[in-house]
Structure 1
Amino acid sequence: MESDEGLRQQLEELQKQLGKKQKFEDSVSKINSLLHDQFPSASPPLRNLFYSVVCRVATILKTRYTSPGFWLAGLRLFEQAESLVSDPSHKQHMKACIAQAKEHLHDIDNPTEVSESTNSRGYLFEGHLTVDPEPPQPYWLVQSNLINAVSSLVTAESSRGPVDSNRNSEAAANIFQELINNLDAVIPEILDDDGAPPRAPPASKEVVAKLPIIILTDEILSKLGHDAECAICKENLVSGDKMQELPCKHTFHPPCLKPWLDEHNSCPICRHELQTDDHAYENWKEREKEAEEERKGAKNAVRGGEYMYV
């Protein structure tokens, strides 16, 4: 049996090679063999390292690769790991990885089914088909789409002929149902106070495109700490990972960050908000900033007056 240190170094080296497309399948195959031969007798720290490496394979598959061969290799690895791990949470995660791999391979074998179910399966992001479902549309986009649909229907209604009557009635019924399904997005929160802050629109596409990309090195990782992770997908970071840096200096996997900014437009860690393309919202933020400065000034003036009479 190999020494613990030798096995650790071998696993860490294989984990680094996972990021190289031409070495991915071979690396996964070697990890699978080591898992079969060494995991049962490995020490608890090494078992945790094995699990971490297998999780890394799952993350890379979800964020980078769509090749059936890659996913089939991953599926075999996940099935092997699921049969060996004893921790209930680890076993449950492996079952989820197996299910995702099988679904991805099924979608590739049934392309028609994929096209008919894009709302519930993966979506195209930067040229890659993801495995996770597409994030829900932000409220402002739902609202805009429905308003445009109603406007188009009204225009069609004003110029319709007898032949189009049934068709427009059916469209009206569909839009009405959509309005019911999205009341929270379309109707303002009338029960809230008038001063309630508006919902933040997505970050400006131009601003997001200019966010710097950095590649993690061993030196950077040593500063971040051994347990550093992407705060969105919760996967541990390794050398060679591409990370996108926000103005607040927090970094995340680019495929994780874009959907998050579309929905939340704020740093998941410190809530720093990026600039948007919505001029009305940006003007509101500027007014709020000025009002906050005035409130602080008034508060300081009151405190100064109190000190004068002490």
Structure 2
Amino acid sequence: LVSKVPRVLLVLFRAGIVESIGEGVTCVKPGEKVIPLCLPQCGECSSCLNPDTNCCLKTHRFTCKGKAIHHFLWISTFSEYTVMPDSAIARIDDDAPLDKVCLFGCGFSTGYGAAINTAKVKPGSTCAIFGLGGVGLSVVIGCKSAGASRIIGIDINKDKFTKARELGATECINPQDFKKPIQEVLVEMTGHGVDYSFEVIGHTDTMVSALASCHMNSGTCVMVGAPPSGSQLSFDPMLLFTGRTWKGSIIGGWKTKDSIPKLVSGYMEKKFNPDVLITHTLPFDKINEGFELLQSGKSIRTVLLF
């Protein structure tokens, strides 16, 4: 499958239009709108055949002289044209705006699904979200959608708090405002620890803090942020011994090819509105400005237009 992406991308994830298809491809036709999938769904490997998993074992799509070529997250984002196998492409609604639904390639889907699928947040529960970037704010949306009664946003950038409250956070706190570890603050705030915590930063120290902030018997901590390559975790095993659950979540637990189109349809039906996560839109030749906005904490998501 050759997909043409003449209009829009979102830093790592994007939406586009099919230019042409190869022999045997039946899931899409030229001219249709699609989202390239950074996590494929081949439908044949042991993970795809297991209803409880979504981490497809298919690991490459390009070959040269019979050898596999590995590249970042499957989708070759910074190219106007790319080649995709049918297992890594999802057809979406014809009316879907590409400059909005590009969020569904990962950012929104990952955070929203971490709450809905991985944690399975229950109505009336208390949640804590460590990191209020685009993915963390999507977790906030997911927790609110699931009926959580208390949603605590945590970030050292207070500029993120207004957006977090707009999306459903009931409280926002900055760890730098306290002299004690943030997990102790959360336990004091709740009396027993939160029911669900989400680490959406990718720092090993906050991963342990997120686990320790959970209720000692029934709390669930979900690791959403990607840790640095080669990093190691060190924590007191008693944090798990007493009954806490620690889980990982990749792309929100969605089987991508099946689920991303349904999420886009839900967006078109106004079931949720991740548009508010897009704070900047820039032409592609200002990509460096987009990264500067991201690194300085002045943006949530920047969409780049071809």
Q: Which has the higher strand share?
A: 2
Same fold (TM over 0.5): no
Query: Scaled by the length of structure 1, what TM-score is found?
Result: 0.21
Compare relative contact order (CA 8 Å, sep 6+) and give the higher one, 1 or 2: 2
Q: Which has the larger radius of gyration?
A: 1
TM-score by length of 2: 0.21
